[in-house]
Structure 1
Amino acid sequence: MTKLTLMSSLALALVLTACGDKDAASDGKLSGEPIAAVPAPAGTNWSDMVKPTADGGFVMGNPDAPIKIVEFASLTCSHCAEFSEKGFPSLRDKYVNSGKVSFELRNYIRDPLDMTAALLARCGGAEPFFPLSDQLFGYQPTLFEKAQGLGEAGYKAALESPANERFVKLGEATGLVEFVMQRGIAEDQAKQCLADAKNAEKLAENVQKAGTAYEIEGTPTFIMNGQKLDNVSAWPALEAKLREAGA
């Protein structure tokens, strides 16, 4: 149920895909031999190097890092927010900045609020994507409170608006537009991103493709070097996998 046309018919159902633990197909093991650190170019950190990917995500780190981690995350998933708070800083500072690991975040859209937040997280391009996503995870409690304040009728009315209006209305009603404006995204720019129905459809298509390719049943889901990690949805388990792989 990831197509935008289906998402637009939802009422107050805020969860399309489970948020939490799930089974997986592979453990993504490497040789386990210790990997040498790779210094970043002078005056930089590897985590400062961020670019979009062909698969619709954003990746930070050494492009030649031998360990490549991909996280499929939902901006309305509490477990994803927990990883952002408790795991991402260590992953970035200890592993990505060592040059041994690259980290790609791909939005895995679960619901219309998630789509609204994802469109805004991506609105400024590569440079602000990771810090803005991190802050949007922290905004979850307020987002849910404001969404509930709309009531079923208000929420449904926004979703039944034309495709180029529905996420603008949700963004304004939930405070998301104001939130990103306070973090450097101009109001006109934010609304333009939310009105981009083709981009929203592309995000929904990416979710469908990823769900099929990796059999994703919940978020966060982590991929290591192309293999979905088994029963890894929190930082301690992911760090253990990184250590096993030699990071």
Structure 2
Amino acid sequence: MKSKQFSTLFIIFSLAFLVLIGVIVYTIIGKKTEDKQDPFLYKEQQTLGDQDAPVHIVEFADFKCPGCQKWDEHVFPEIQKEYIETGKVQFHFINFPFIGDDSNLGAAAGEAIYKQDHAAFWKFYTALFEAQQSTDQVWITEELLTQIVKEQLPKINVKQFQKDLNSEAIQKKVQQDKDLALGLKVQGAPTIYVNGNLVDSSYDGIKNAVEKALKK
């Protein structure tokens, strides 16, 4: 009798173990498949636009980058008006802090702001580019960042922002973005992808890629 009960329990535990192994394997395979389909980790990035938009635009940028500043001033508003606000494009910003140590601080600030209020990040995005100085200067400071938050981002809790700015979680996110850029062999900034394809960062280059993607 005891032998029969032992056998039954053994079978039950064996099946449970196999089910557990199956779940683990399925999760691992599913995650790898998801990463393969979404190498940019769209859901983890600072994002603007309709989540159901058929086209994804990714910008790799450094807040100290003069080319990024010009892109934000001249190209981004047109992309936003024509494609993001009309629900055709979801836009994703990915940090690529490569110019100086304060590039990392600017990236961390953006992540800390986005954590509190997604909409506030895009105001910060423009404000920090507008405050841009020479690349050989250390101009992104905690004082400047706090000033921008206090003066232009009323929905952001300043104390929480200051706490998050140097937190391990935020630093990890910035490094994740940088590793992603390096993994894709991003050479500079701004670097733009449309639906996973590297494109010319000019307005015409992006427009042509988006229009082509919309026809598919």
Q: Deviations over 1:188-244 (max 9, x none)?
A: 2332122213421331133113321x2211111111112222xx1232322232234
User: Which residue of 2 is the match for residue 211 of structure 1?
Assistant: 182
Counterpart for residue 178 of structure 1: 147
1:81 corresponds to = 69
Higher CA-based Rg: 2
2:164 maps to 1:193: yes
Shift of 1:120: 1.7
User: Which residue pairs with 2:16 in the alignment?
Assistant: none
Structure 1 residues 80-119: aligned runs within 5 Å: 80-110=68-98, 111-119=100-108
Structure showing greater relative contact order (alpha-carbon pairs closer than 8 Å, 6 or more residues apart): 1
* 1:66 aligned partner: 54
Give the match's secondary structure for 2:146. helix
1:139 pairs with 2:131? yes
The number of aligned residues is: 169
SS of 2:63 mapped into structure 1: coil
Q: Give the number of the structure whose residues are more often helix, by fraction.
A: 2
Inter-partner Cα distance in structure 2 for 1:75 and 1:215:
19
Secondary structure of the structure 2 residue equivalent to 1:124: helix
Q: Equivalent residue for 1:226? A: 196
User: What is the Cα-based RMSD across aligned positions, in Å?
Assistant: 2.5
What residue ranges of structure 2 are gaps of 5+ in the alignment? 1-40
Q: What is the one-letter code of the residue matched to 2:122?
A: F
TM-score, reference length from structure 2: 0.68
Runs (4+) of structure 1 exceeding 4 A deviation are: 143-146
Q: Is the Cα–Cα contact under 8 Å of residues 54 and 214 in structure 2 kept in the other structure?
A: no
* CA–CA distance in structure 1, aligned partners of residues 148 and 135 of structure 2: 14
CA distance in 2, matches of 1:60, 1:171: 25
Identify unmatched segments of 5+ residues in structure 1.
1-51, 149-166
Which one of the candidate residues 198, 207, 212 is aligned to 1:239? 207
Percent of residue pairs identical? 24
Residue 146 of structure 1 and its aligned partner are, at CA, apart by 6.5
TM-score (norm 1): 0.60
**TM alignment of 1:124-163, pairs within 5 A:** 124-125=113-114, 126-141=118-133, 147=138
Name the amino acid aligned to 2:172: E
Superimposed CA distance per residue, residues 50-108 of structure 1 (whole angstroms, 9 cap, x where no aligned partner): xx944x41222222222111111111111111111111111111111222211111111
- One-letter amino acid of the structure 2 residue matched with residue 130 of structure 1: W
